[in-house]
Amino acid sequence: EPEVTQTPSHQVTQMGQEVILRCVPISNHLYFYWYRQILGQKVEFLVSFYNNEISEKSEIFDDQFSVERPDGSNFTLKIRSTKLEDSAMYFCASSTGAGQETQYFGPGTRLLVL
C-alpha cells in the first residue's frame, strides 16, 4: 500500500541554524501539507500546497518557513533560522484533491532545537 515517507526521522540542530525536512508524498497525489505537533499539544496545520503554490497557511507559518517541491517526488519544509519553540514533530500529508479527499500522513520528523 502506498504511503507517505519522511526523512530524517530525527533531527537535532542548534538554534539559529537552517533545517530542511523532507517528504515523499504518495505518487498520484496532488495536494501536500505540513502539520506540526509540539510535545503534549494538538496537531496543528502549517501549510497546504498545490500546483507549486501555497494554497493556505496558518499564522504559525511565518517568514521563517518555506515549502518547495524541488522535483516530481519530494516536498520539503525549510525553517530558515530555528528557534527553541520550533522543537516539535513535523508531519507531512498528501491527498489526491481538496475538499473531502482523505489526507494521508507520514510518520513524522522529530525536530529538536537546542
- Residue numbers of the site for another protein (CB under 8 A)? 4, 31, 33, 35, 37, 42-45, 48, 55-56, 58, 89, 91, 93, 98-100, 102-108, 110
Pairwise CA distance, residues 62 & 69, whole Å: 18
Smallest distance from the beta carbon of 18 to another protein, in angstroms? 24
Q: Which of 48/82 has CB closer to another protein? A: 48
The secondary element (H helix, E strand) that includes residue 33 is strand 31-37
Smallest distance from the beta carbon of 99 to another protein, in angstroms? 5
Smallest distance from the beta carbon of 87 to another protein, in angstroms? 13
Which residues partner with 65 through β-bridges?
79
Q: Which of 20/89 has CB closer to another protein? A: 89
The secondary element (H helix, E strand) that includes residue 104 is strand 104-105
Q: Which of 48/87 has CB closer to another protein? A: 48
Pairwise CA distance, residues 64 & 53, whole Å: 17
Smallest distance from the beta carbon of 56 to another protein, in angstroms? 6
Pairwise CA distance, residues 85 & 73, whole Å: 29
Q: Which of 17/92 has CB closer to another protein? A: 92
Place of cell 504518495: 26
